[in-house]
Structure 1
Amino acid sequence: MIRPVVYLLFLCLSMASFPVLSQQLNFTVTINSERAKTQDTDIFDQMKSAFEQFLNARNWSDTELKPQERIKGNLLITINDMPQVGLFSATVQIQTVRPVYGSNYESLILNFADRNWTFEYTESQPLEFNQYSYLNNITSLLSYYAYIALGIDYDSFSPRGGDSFFETANNIVANAQQSSNPGWNQNPSDKRNRYWLANDLYNSQVMVPVRDAYYLYHRKGLDLLTTNPTESYQNILEAIKLIQEANQVQPNSILTISFMDAKSDEISKILKAAPMELKEEAVEVLLKVDPNNARKYNDILKG
């Protein structure tokens, strides 16, 4: 279903005193704490509940979505170390899915590994966030990925529809740079951190074709697969070519890698039913963009 752009802003006067709920996310948080050096495992149950509440109950935009329209996501947090009480070091996998029009299929649209989460959290800690200033690292981390998830989802439904969300994510990065926590800074030796992802999505003109590919691949590709497969396959191919265009100018950017990490399995399955001429052209492009998955793409030609 296409996400609406304009929603009813005012209710009748008899309901004016009631708040309008406009949550946009439906995230599940999973915490793997096997490596944590603590006997107090209850803290991780509280952490899971607090993080889910923060992500799912907050209004991230003025757009109101029905419960079934909210963006589904998974946040897998692996605690690597707990050097002192209330201080955690973790790696995180962020995944979100997007429904495909006219089907029950949900397409993986964001699949990103963040290896540098360092944050403080204590029992019953209130999670406060202000997009205009840095308050603490955990709410900056959670909010950053909320806006990234929203932006990519909206990009897939309308051309560059995620602009405002990526702008906010970029502002969160700028504000968080005052902290000493890793992942927020322009580190030339670490091109796969939060700074570079936000930069590719909001500031980089070179990466604009990748953003256009999100729309072409999903709205003009997957969403048409059952009603107009010929056009769908052609648009998916054109989306892959856009990825190649960006990759030729800036090889191995985090945004290109993120796109292919989410889509490689899906592409290899969907294109098996495409016409042979299109499959051959697609495989030629895919092998240049994502050579690490060469075997997967060559299997496309086997039908």
Structure 2
Amino acid sequence: MRNFIVIFLLLINTEAMYAQELNFTVTINSDRARTQETVIFENMKNSFEQFLNGRNWTEDEFRPAERIKGNLLITINDMPQVGMFTATVQVQTVRPIFGSNYESLIFNFADRNWTFEFIDSQPLEFNRNTFLNNISSLLAFYAYLVIGVDYDSFSPRGGEPYFEIASTIVSNAQQSPRPGWNQSTTDRRNRYWLADQLYTSQVMVPIRDAYYLYHRKGMDILVSRPEEAYPNILEAIRKVTGANEAQPNSILPITFMDAKSDEISKVLKNAPMDIRKEAVSLLLKVDPNNSRKYNDLLKG
């Protein structure tokens, strides 16, 4: 009996040691929904968080402290009928930096065209090979996408299998008339183009390499080996700029810079002047909207 108890406790402890991959907080802004039934949005939040955080997305083992932290910020733009919603979704995830308490914003993307039906108390079902509904497909798409980006930052192109699944979700969802899943020529910042550039486009492969260079070979060793870290961060910026020049105004360079612009402008302040000068020259090409903060790197 005692041996049974010991084994049982070991199983419980082993189960507690490992967890699902994601640790997302869902926030829903329903001010524009024009309804007094606000409880539905609390239930929606709980349902979406359970869907993202309560399942295994990979076959790898994650300790609780290793879970990918993220925010899903949903703004309800309209509720044209009961149970039907149009919304904007902001997806953000962070990555811990080795040997510090610092968390680096690694993915920051605004999905501006999401329509869906939400039926209270109905469980969300998902099958990666079949389109079931526009909620589970969108949530699963971003789950695999952010896992892929995270894996790319720890090993060269390590996110490949997860980008492949995200691309499959896009293909399956194209049977739906809902926007965001198709090869639109007017909206080139949707889910289709994001998956295409992370998984299919050879022109954008350098940006995937940039995630690894910037984070694993740059930020993770910045304190211990700055003489290696700064050139690697610069090389990552070169790769992002080169991809943008090869295919101007593409979604992936913009997404990379939306996550990293503030951090780059702070991190490079202590870099050697020659690195700062080249970095600023490149950054002004790929992200001219933030020219003021980049030019500040040349002061002092």
TM over 0.5: yes
Separation in structure 2 between the aligned mates of residue 187 and residue 237 of structure 1, nearest angstrom: 33
Question: Which residue pairs with 1:207 in the alignment?
Answer: 204
The CA RMSD over aligned residues, in Å, is: 1.6
Tell me if 1:83 matches 2:80.
Answer: yes
- 1:292 positional shift: 1.1
- Deviations along 1:126-150, one digit per CA (max 9) or x if unpaired, are 0000000000000001000000110
Q: Deviations over 1:162-189 (max 9, x none)?
A: 0000000000000000001000000011
Aligned match for 2:283, one of 275, 281, 286:
286
Amino acid at match of 1:72: K
Which residue of the partner structure matches residue 128 of structure 1? Answer: 125
1:180 aligns with 2:164: no
The one-letter amino acid of 1:144's match is F
Aligned residue type for 2:220? D
Residues in 2 aligned to 1:125 and 1:96: alpha-carbon distance in whole angstroms: 27
Secondary structure at the counterpart of residue 187 of structure 2:
coil
Counterpart contact for 2:19–2:64, Cα < 8 Å: no
Structure 1 CA distance, aligned partners of 2:8 and 2:118?
41
Secondary structure of the structure 2 residue equivalent to 1:144:
helix
Q: Is 2:274 aligned against 1:277?
A: yes
Q: TM-score, normalized by length of structure 1?
A: 0.93
1:289 Cα deviation after fit: 1.0
Question: How far is 1:14 from its partner?
Answer: 6.8
Q: Which runs of 5+ in 2 are unaligned?
A: 1-5
Which residue matches 1:58?
A: 55
Q: Classify 1:16/1:164 alpha carbon distance in 2 versus 1 (closer, same or farther; 3 Å).
A: farther
Query: Does the 8 Å CA contact 1:22/1:62 hold for their aligned counterparts?
Result: no
Measure, in 2, the Cα distance between the counterparts of 1:126 and 1:143: 14
How far off its partner does 1:224 sit? 0.6
Q: CA deviation at 1:230?
A: 1.1
In structure 2, the residue corresponding to 1:59 is in which secondary structure? coil
Misfit runs of 4+, over 3 Å: 12-22
Following superposition, the deviation at residue 213 of structure 1 comes to 0.2
Note if 1:190 corresponds to 2:191: no
Alignment of 1:214-293 (within 5 A): 214-293=211-290
**TM-score when normalising by structure 2:** 0.94
Q: CA deviation at 1:22?
A: 4.4
Contact 1:200-1:207 at 8 Å conserved across structures:
yes
Q: How many residues align?
A: 292
Gaps of 5+ in 1: 1-11
Contact 1:22 1:61 in 2 (8 A): no
Shift of 1:13: 8.5
Q: Distance in 2 between matches of 1:43 and 1:64?
A: 34
**Does residue 39 of the first structure (1) align with residue 39 of the second (2)?**
no
